[in-house]
Amino acid sequence: MNTDSIRSIETEADYQAALQRAETLMSSSPKTPEADEVEVLATLIELYEDKYFPIESPDPIAAIEFRLEQLDRSNADLIPLIGSESLVAEVMSKRQPLTLEMIRAIHLHLGIPADVLLQ
């Protein structure tokens, strides 16, 4: 690995240069100095992106809607997890917050991460 070319990413120019370098090395054979350099660059790029381009967690209701769509299900499928049809409507319209019991059930049956639902 050429340690002279590896340095922290502090500016947009550094970031763009790191992206370009990583792209040129992307097809490197495993267990070579170039492959090691790509791994280091990927870590530095990720740290920069986490700092300057953070991805926020989705809204809990948006996450539920998205998961229902993925599973080709409707709000009616939430009734056993949340309660009555009217309670589902209240929760999905954000007039009623999710309870811990609802969060547990949705997490267990729909596979949505609990930390997304707890926001």
Q: What is the pLDDT of residues 63-107, one digit of tens each?
A: 999 999 999 999 999 999 999 999 999 999 999 999 999 999 999
Both structure tokens of 61: 């209701």
Q: In angstroms, how far is CA 88 from the centroid of its own chain?
A: 26
Please, what is the angle between helix 85-92 and helix 60-70, to 10°? 120
SS3 72: coil
What is d(CA 42, CA 78) in angstroms, rounded to the nearest whole number? 40
Residues in the chain: 119
What is the DSSP code string of 22-36? HHHHTTPPTTSHHHH
Rg, the chain, Cα only: 22
Q: For residues 87 and 79, what is the distance between their CA atoms, to the nearest angstrom?
A: 8
pLDDT tens, position by position, 10-46: 999 999 999 999 999 988 899 999 999 999 999 999 9
Q: Which of 33-37, 52-56, 109-113 has the highest mean pLDDT?
A: 109-113
Closest CA to 25 of 4, 42, 7, 43: 42
pLDDT value at 49 more than 80: yes
> What is the per-residue pLDDT for 5?
64
Let me know whether 74 and 25 are in one domain. no
In a domain, 1, yes or no: no
Which CATH number covers residue 105?
1.10.260
In a domain, 4, yes or no: no
- Domain extent at residue 39: 12-52
